[in-house]
Chains A and B, each alone.
Chain A
Amino acid sequence: MHLTSEEEKIFNGEFGWAYQVSMRILVRLGELFGATQLIPIESAHISGVSYKTLGDAPIDFFESLVEAGGKVQVPSTVNPSSFDPEYLAKRFPEDYLKKQLHVVDLYEKMGIKPTLTCTPYYLRQPKLGCHLAWSESSAVIYANSVLGSWTNREGGPSALAAALIGKTPNYGVHKAENREANVLIEVKSTLRDETDFGALGIHVGKLLKNEIPVFEGLSRCTKDDLKQLGAGLASSGMTTMFHYQKKSIKEKLETVFVEADDIKNTIENLSTSFERSDLIFIGCPHCSLREIQRVAQALKGKKVKKGNELWICTSSHVRETAEKYVNIIKEADGHVLCNTCAVVTWIKKLGIDTMMTNSAKTAYYAPTLNEVDVTLASMTKCIEESCK
């Protein structure tokens, strides 16, 4: 890899350990994947925040980075933590809260905004065609496919290293030639709602290796639908981006057909329970303003039934802009939680054994990550169920 003289100095430790170790990560990974140089990034998004997911492992490393004076060089955001400041914070042991706050504090000391969301693009939309170093697979695929910005699927450590240096190695989808669709997915089924989109993602993600799919036959697609599609694709597979516009098809491609039964079977297979749910969860990935509005509309004039628990998870930023809708949800006895979600908190410790969700990604992960049974159904059905 070709390094500038300044990059060389950083690599050799002239600017301290925090930058040296970051530069080493970027250069070695770059070499591994055939990069020729580092390129500037507009922003970084870093996964590895929730104390439930992480445990104590990263604390030592983050403390050393802070001690060595490491500061991020570009606007940087972080993934959700394991609780929200109001509702869940009171329900877990103090030790957990302390550790979680310590992790967030260490990130802040490096100059990272404690945004605590998996949808950083609602706070600040990256520019078309700009380079990013994002981790959080659902945000990566959304940035590449819907927003038209360019980022590889980073891990927590490489995104943090890129944030501290302000650059990333130029391999993978940072190169135009690697962003072309190379498999056509012909959808023969009418997708009814966001859950169908998520299920399509899970189904196709399993079939792909490193290909970039282009979808044909998506009858409706809002950005929220595409968010679910991407989250599903990136959960069951290693997909970094997809295309959903016909103009992206430039040559005859290998075609995979998706039938109505594939979607139906995927939803059925992701559901491990059809019993009453202890928790009804909407907000994976974190809700957009439009999604909060939809929940509020569905809940207006209704009440979540006593004994039922409804969580709507979003970023504090979106929550602030959605006050009117948040109040409607609160009046209906639903909980709007920010900075966290059901997957990255200890729902099992809250006595939750079954969960209903509209998110195929959550349905994919929760049985193993949270050890709960899951029912996958549309937002409309989830809200109906919560009031039953």
Chain B
Amino acid sequence: MRVEVLRGRSIVSGRRRGLALVSRKPISFLGGVDPNSGLIIERDHDLKSECMKGRILCFPSGHGSTVGSYVLYSLAKKGLGPKAIINQTADPVVVAGAIIAEIPMIDQVDILQIETGDDVEVDGEKGFVKILKKKEDKKEK
């Protein structure tokens, strides 16, 4: 498969490779994510009961209380945070959270091109993400 590169904007530098966990809905870190497990607990969320630990977390934007930034820090400190964050449009809650938690982050990425289970590599410094292996490719093997 051809390696697909999606360009975006650098927010927090750092390079991380991992499996994507993609949501079509905004995430509220305060109230929507369990800080003791990394599970998404928001009612009616498309990632409900999914764990963000070690994943490349892709979602359109953050929303909700600004305390959400501290939740990201707490998750990262316990080793429960995502490996990297890809947003469609960065918002202050997630930006501040990714900075203090030192989670590589980019935004202005068309996240519709990424699917849960894709093997992706994020370059937070240069602001792009490489889709190394689509989930389907994996199934064929």
Known A-B contacts A28-B11, A29-B92, A56-B74; A158 and B99 likewise in contact (beta carbons under 8 Å): no
Stretch at the interface among A47-55, A177-185, A214-222: A47-55
Considering the complex, give the chain B residue whose CB is closest to the CB of A65: B100
How far is the CB of A6 from the nearest CB of chain B, in Å?
A: 20
| Chain A to chain B contacts (Cβ below 8 Å), 30 pairs | A21-B99, A21-B100, A25-B95, A25-B96, A28-B11, A29-B95, A48-B66, A48-B67, A48-B70, A53-B65, A53-B67, A54-B67, A55-B35, A56-B35, A57-B67, A57-B70, A57-B71, A58-B70, A59-B74, A60-B74, A61-B73, A135-B66, A155-B66, A155-B93, A155-B96, A156-B67, A157-B100, A158-B66, A158-B92, A161-B96
15 more A-B residue pairs beyond the given contacts A21-B99, A56-B35, A60-B73, with a C-beta to C-beta distance below 8 A: A25-B95, A28-B11, A28-B99, A29-B92, A32-B90, A48-B66, A54-B70, A57-B35, A57-B73, A58-B73, A59-B74, A60-B74, A155-B96, A157-B97, A161-B96
Q: Per-residue 0/1 for B91-122: is the Cβ within 8 Å of any A Cβ (1 yes, 0 no)?
A: 01101110110000000000000000000000
Q: Are A24 and B99 touching (Cβ within 8 A)? A: yes
How far is the CB of A38 from the nearest CB of chain B, in Å?
A: 16
Considering the complex, give the chain A residue whose CB is closest to the CB of B98: A28
Q: Are A25 and B100 touching (Cβ within 8 A)? A: yes
Q: Are B99 and A60 touching (Cβ within 8 A)? A: no
Q: Are B69 and A32 touching (Cβ within 8 A)? A: no
How far is the CB of B9 from the nearest CB of chain A, in Å?
A: 9
Considering the complex, give the chain A residue whose CB is closest to the CB of B35: A57
Interface size on A, residues (CB 8 A): 23
Question: How far, in angstroms, from A8 to B115 measured CA to CA in the complex?
Answer: 38
How far is the CB of B80 from the nearest CB of chain A, in Å?
A: 12
Q: Are B90 and A61 touching (Cβ within 8 A)? A: no
| B residues near A58, Cβ cutoff 8 Å | 67, 70, 73-74
Question: How far, in angstroms, from A105 to B48 measured CA to CA in the complex?
Answer: 36
Question: How far, in angstroms, from A29 to B91 measured CA to CA in the complex?
Answer: 9
In chain B, residues 67-94, which have Cβ atoms closer than 8 Å to a Cβ of chain A? Answer: 67, 69-71, 73-74, 77, 90, 92-93
How far is the CB of A301 from the nearest CB of chain B, in Å?
A: 43
Chain B residues with a Cβ under 8 A of chain A: 11-12, 30, 35, 65-67, 69-71, 73-74, 77, 90, 92-93, 95-97, 99-100
| A residues near B96, Cβ cutoff 8 Å | 25, 28-29, 155, 157-158, 161
Question: How far, in angstroms, from A58 to B77 measured CA to CA in the complex?
Answer: 11
| A residues near B70, Cβ cutoff 8 Å | 48, 54, 57-58, 60-61, 156-157
Question: How far, in angstroms, from A56 to B100 measured CA to CA in the complex?
Answer: 16
Known A-B contacts A28-B95, A32-B95, A57-B71; A47 and B100 likewise in contact (beta carbons under 8 Å): no
Considering the complex, give the chain A residue whose CB is closest to the CB of B101: A61
| A residues near B69, Cβ cutoff 8 Å | 155-157
Question: How far, in angstroms, from A186 to B54 measured CA to CA in the complex?
Answer: 53
In chain A, residues 6-43, which have Cβ atoms closer than 8 Å to a Cβ of chain B? Answer: 21, 24-25, 28-29, 32
Q: Per-residue 0/1 for A142-171: is the Cβ within 8 Å of any B Cβ (1 yes, 0 no)?
A: 000000000000011110010000000000
How far is the CB of B19 from the nearest CB of chain A, in Å?
A: 26
Considering the complex, give the chain A residue whose CB is closest to the CB of B91: A32
| B residues near A29, Cβ cutoff 8 Å | 92, 95-96
| A residues near B93, Cβ cutoff 8 Å | 155
Question: How far, in angstroms, from A282 to B63 measured CA to CA in the complex?
Answer: 30
How far is the CB of B3 from the nearest CB of chain A, in Å?
A: 28
Question: How far, in angstroms, from A158 to B68 measured CA to CA in the complex?
Answer: 12
| B residues near A47, Cβ cutoff 8 Å | 66
| B residues near A61, Cβ cutoff 8 Å | 70, 73-74, 100
Question: How far, in angstroms, from A59 to B78 measured CA to CA in the complex?
Answer: 13
- Please list the 10 inter-chain residue pairs (A to B) with the smallest Cβ-Cβ separation, ordered nearest first: A155-B66, A58-B70, A157-B96, A57-B70, A157-B69, A61-B73, A57-B71, A156-B66, A24-B99, A57-B74
Question: How far, in angstroms, from A57 to B74 measured CA to CA in the complex?
Answer: 6
